[in-house]
């Protein structure tokens, strides 16, 4: 069993001792206390556990911690800066794009990755990025609206 001793998370190197075979989700949550990423299905189907590795969205429930290597991990906890919400977070609040909120962090991380790659996503790009995230409360249309609002804000103030 390969033990990992270091993980680059949210802009800094974190020292830890964890079995690299463990899923990234558990290491982030149970060892580092970053509980914004949520367990939802354990098979990469619901997107609640989404974090970014080198800017790409990954399902942290289906990725071994050791597979991150030198990659830079970003979680929801990194988005708010000096008390200011990330435009995507703010848009989710403004569009009331959550009910129980359990999917919200994963949705936001998927949307951040989408808008970083495609500032004005087409429907196809939107679905490719977001269709893997389940909102069981079903307010998909508000989430769509939030992503659209965030895209507009980011285009105006990149």
Partner 1 sequence: MKTSEVSAMDRRHFFKLLGGGLFVAYLAEPSKAQERRGRRGGPPRPMEVSAWLHIGEDGSVKIFTGKTEVGQNIRTSLSQAVAEELHVPVASIQMVMADTDLVPFDMGTFGSRSTPDMALHLRKVAAMARQALIDLAAKEWGYSDRHLQAVNGRVIYEPTPGQVEKNVGYGELLKGQQLTATVTDQIKLKPATEWKVAGTSVGKVGGHDFVTGKHHYTTDMSLPGMVHGKVLRAPAYGAKLKSLDDSQAKALEGVTVVRDGDFVGVTAPNPSVATEALGLLKAEWEGGSGPSNKELWQVLKNNFDRGDQGKQIDDALASSAHKLEQTYTVEYIAHCPLETRAGVAEWKDGKVTVWTGSQRPFGVKDELVSAFSLPSEKVRVIVPDTGSGFGGKHSGEAAIEAARLAKAVGKPVKISWSREEEFWWAYFRPAGVIEVKAGVDAEGKLTAWEFHNHNSGGAAIETPYEVPAKFVRSHGSKSPLRQGSYRGLAASANCFARESAMDELAAAAEMDPLEFRLKNLKDERLRAVLEAAAKRFEWKGRKGHCGIACGIDKGGYVANCVQIELRGEEVKIVRIVAAFECGAIVNPMHLKNQVEGSIVMGLGGALFEAIQFADGKILNPVFSKYRVPRFSDVPPIDIVLVNRPDLPSAGAGECPIMAIAPAIGSAIFEATKKRLRAMPKSV
Binding site for partner 1 (CB under 8 A): 19, 21-23, 26, 29-31, 33-43, 45-46, 48, 75-77, 79-80, 85, 89-90, 92-93, 96, 98-105, 108, 126-127, 130-144
> H or E element: which one contains 9?
strand 3-9
CB of 76 to partner 1, least distance (A): 4
CB of 67 to partner 1, least distance (A): 14
Name which of 53 and 107 has its Cβ closer to partner 1.
107
**b/e string for 118-130 if b means 16 or more Cβ within 10 A?**
eeebeeeebeebb
Q: What would the two tokens of residue 57 be?
A: 């969205």
Name which of 119 and 138 has its Cβ closer to partner 1.
138
CB of 13 to partner 1, least distance (A): 21
- Say which residue the tokens 């988005």 belong to: 79
Name which of 53 and 95 has its Cβ closer to partner 1.
95
CB of 71 to partner 1, least distance (A): 20
What is the C-alpha to C-alpha distance for residues 153 and 147, in angstroms, rounded to an integer? 10
DSSP string, 48-100: TTEEEETTEEEEGGGSBGGGGTTPEEE-GGGT-BTTB--HHHHHHHHTT--SS
Name which of 53 and 110 has its Cβ closer to partner 1.
110
């Amino acid at each position: 069993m390969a033990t990992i001793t270091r993980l680059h998370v949210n802009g800094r190197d974190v020292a830890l001792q964890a079995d690299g075979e463990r899923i990234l989700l558990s290491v982030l949550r149970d060892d580092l206390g970053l509980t914004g990423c949520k367990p939802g299905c354990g098979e990469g189907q619901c997107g609640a556990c989404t974090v970014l590795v080198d800017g790409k969205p990954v399902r942290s429930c289906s990725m071994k911690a050791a597979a991150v290597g030198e990659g830079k991990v970003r979680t929801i906890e990194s988005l708010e800066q000096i008390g200011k919400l990330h435009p995507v977070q703010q848009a989710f609040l403004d569009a009331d794009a959550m009910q129980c909120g359990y999917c919200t962090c994963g949705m936001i991380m998927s949307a951040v990755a989408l808008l970083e790659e495609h500032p004005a996503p087409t429907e196809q790009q939107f679905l490719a990025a977001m269709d893997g995230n389940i909102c069981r409360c079903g307010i998909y249309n508000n989430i769509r609206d939030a992503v659209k609002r965030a895209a507009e804000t980011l285009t105006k103030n990149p």
